[in-house]
Structure 1
Amino acid sequence: MRLGVTYLSISPSVDRASARQKYLDFGRQVEWANDKGFAGIWVTEHHFSGYSLSSSPLLLLGHAASLAPDLRIGTGILVLPLWDPVRLVADVNTLDQLSGGRLDLGIGRGYQPHEFLGFGRDLDSSRGAYEESIDLVLRLLTETEVTHKGEFHRIDAPVSVLPPSFQAPHPPVWAAAVSPESTRHAVRRGFHLLGLALSTPDELAAQWRTVAALAAEEGVSAEGREYAVNRFVHVGTDPAGRRAAAREVARQIQTSRALAQGAYPTGGVPPIPVAIDPADEELAYQRLLAGSPEQIVEQLHELAAAGVTQVNAAFEYGTLPAETAFASMRLFASDVIPALAELPAIR
């Protein structure tokens, strides 16, 4: 099993100094992580609020690639309906070349109405836009002299996007697939899968069985297909520390839910809850990858048995202080990663 680091945390303040500090913390952690046994760095995409200061994930990953030359870099995920496919492929190929072929391309549909409205896009038509964009992006990654006339995009003159990618035929594609339609679409195209952060091992195993069944139905091979999942992580045996971490996961969940339901940020500040719903806190407490290093190794083994081949760990979430997150990350690297290497491969 490979272990990556994913970045998603709320910024209660969105002024210039706070944004600068957020990126300094990001760079410090990425540079430190380079030789600690992690597989890669993953960055999400969000816009117009401090829910995550990651409006330019490819730029952040370019920075990460220069700071950590031994790690892969991945988008987890790009909101594909918000992108012009030609512009996206040009940026993806350039980043893949600059990183020496270390890019993983994670894609998804997105879910926050405010982000779509800010780009003048319609969330209700995001499935159609997503599927058309995928097909066009794959053509632009692998073909020359591409033209296209679709419902959402047009290329009126033949284009060959340059530079070509470093990896052949293109960077690995990972799809955030939850619904049956999205899962089938990803399986049909041979994409790797990104699972839900709060799914149980049993739920993940069930989805992996679904992937295998869909692959058989579609007549495509599941051989070599990867299955990654994000996990909120807290390394420590202090019950109070785990409870505090669970509250911050719950804060992240509630903020995400409010934005998904159409809430607007105010001056860029997201709708961060002050009072935490006890049900969300309990859910977070149970679903956290948490405990002593030995307990976390056991939990990772359960995920591997469910079919998961990569776990992308979020150490900083909600409004958890950066130093608290970094302490957990250091303990994970020193005590969890070496122990995990001794586990037998599940598949």
Structure 2
Amino acid sequence: MQFGLFGSAAARRPNPGESAEFDSSKGFREFIEYNVEAEALGFRSTFVVEHHFTGYGQVSATINLLTWLGARTRTLRLGTAVIVLPWHNPVLLAEQAATLDLLSGGRLDFGIGKGYRYNEFAGFCVDMDEADARFNECLGVIIKAWTSNEPFSHHGRYWRFDNVVVEPPTAQRPHPPIWMGAGGESSVRQVAERGYNLLLGQYASPADVGRSITAYKAAIEAQGRRFDPTQVGVTRAFFVCDSVEEKEAALQRRLANRVRQLKLATRPDGTVHGGPDRATGDPDAVNRNSAMYGSPDDIAAKLDELRRVGVGYVLVNGGGSGGGERGRASLRRFACEVMPLFAEEPAARAAE
């Protein structure tokens, strides 16, 4: 089993009454140092979100942050989870992502999605009902931009480009690995049929994760390709702690954060369309069952559940720790006390 990171950094504006000298960069700087240490501890990758208009400072300029991180690291793969294509000019995004891939020596993992938070679409004045069509058109232009050495034109529904050659090229050929989030069986199959890697949400139960992996593996093999467990990244929240009080406080923080995110995602009619924050069942039960919070033994037991359904690549989100030195300590304990229990053998066995 291999491990990467998943999450965000907080660089918020000062609250009313806070000092004018409030340091908005602190969250970004702590995030960078956290990832630098993660690389040294043996983590394979980091995947960073894209979100806007939250009021609490989630990462909005994902490529920029990863470019800075790329300059501080040497082996850590740099993932987006996810860039929401319906909001972006595809040529500009292709150029920015290719620049990151070149400067990092070919370490970009290009995670993409359609978006699900209503407040973000409203802020950009983009109709959510156009998300699918905008996503497909944007992705098509990006792929053409990365793989065309000659000028090309594109006249689509949302974008028009005439006689453009997109520079620079990517370091990875024909382009960086593409990752897509999916949950339902049909959408999982579509990711496989496109030839892309799969991202699974952090609230899905082990049983649901297993069903998604089974569907993805079958679709991959139906195309005559070999399935590799590291083609599926399963996101999970983690916090290594020894006291029941710490664990309960962290679970309550996570539940409150999920409620806050769902409010941002909710349309005026009260519905939420897709997104990783959705999961069926009692919210508290879903929260407790999906979070890997507790002692190293508690966390290992939950990872073993995932291993048994075929998971070979876990992207852990340490936000539950509350950040700072407590977050760094949790990261170190996870790397030193949990990761050695899940070496390469389980992932290899899951691929059989």
TM-score of the two chains, using structure 1 as the length reference: 0.87
- Work out whether residues 30 and 67 of structure 1, in 8 Å CA contact, stay in contact via their aligned partners in 2: no
* Aligned equivalent of 1:149: 155
Letter in 2 for 1:87: L
Q: Aligned with 2:234: secondary structure?
A: strand
Using the TM superposition, give the Cα deviation of residue 224 of structure 1 relative to its aligned residue in structure 2, in angstroms. 3.6
Note if 1:4 corresponds to 2:8.
no
Note if 1:35 corresponds to 2:40.
yes
* Aligned equivalent of 2:91: 86
- Work out whether residues 62 and 99 of structure 1, in 8 Å CA contact, stay in contact via their aligned partners in 2: yes
Letter in 1 for 2:170: S
Tell me which of 167, 171, 180 is aligned to 1:175. 180
Aligned pairs, how many?
330
Note if 1:304 corresponds to 2:307.
yes
Q: Unpaired segments of 5 or more residues in structure 2? A: 16-20, 269-281
Structure 1 pair 209–34 and aligned structure 2 pair: CA distance change class (3 A)? closer
Same amino acid, percent of matched pairs: 31
Structure 1 residues 171-230: Cα deviation after superposition (integer angstroms, max 9, x where no partner): 11000122455434322210000001111111111112222344466x463534711111
Take 1:5 and 1:335, find their aligned partners in 2: how far apart are those partners? 17
Take 1:10 and 1:247, find their aligned partners in 2: how far apart are those partners? 19
Tell me which of 40, 43, 52 is aligned to 1:47. 52
Structure 1 residues 290-312: Cα deviation after superposition (integer angstroms, max 9, x where no partner): 23223323322322332323111
Q: Aligned with 1:152: secondary structure?
A: coil
- 1:280-291 map, 5 Å: 280-291=283-294
Note if 1:21 corresponds to 2:26.
yes
Note if 1:292 corresponds to 2:295.
yes
Take 1:3 and 1:280, find their aligned partners in 2: how far apart are those partners? 26
TM-score of the two chains, using structure 2 as the length reference: 0.86
Cα RMSD, aligned residues only: 2.4
- Work out whether residues 293 and 299 of structure 2, in 8 Å CA contact, stay in contact via their aligned partners in 1: yes
Structure 1 pair 14–75 and aligned structure 2 pair: CA distance change class (3 A)? farther
* Aligned equivalent of 1:335: 337
Letter in 2 for 1:8: S
- 1:186-335 map, 5 Å: 186-215=191-220, 219=223, 221=225, 223-224=227-228, 226-262=231-267, 279-317=282-320, 320-335=322-337
Q: Aligned with 1:162: secondary structure?
A: coil
- Work out whether residues 46 and 77 of structure 2, in 8 Å CA contact, stay in contact via their aligned partners in 1: yes
Q: Unpaired segments of 5 or more residues in structure 1? A: 264-278
Take 1:220 and 1:259, find their aligned partners in 2: how far apart are those partners? 42
Structure 1 pair 51–307 and aligned structure 2 pair: CA distance change class (3 A)? farther
Letter in 1 for 2:155: K
- Work out whether residues 10 and 50 of structure 1, in 8 Å CA contact, stay in contact via their aligned partners in 2: no
Using the TM superposition, give the Cα deviation of residue 55 of structure 1 relative to its aligned residue in structure 2, in angstroms. 0.6
Moved more, 48-57 or 31-40: 48-57
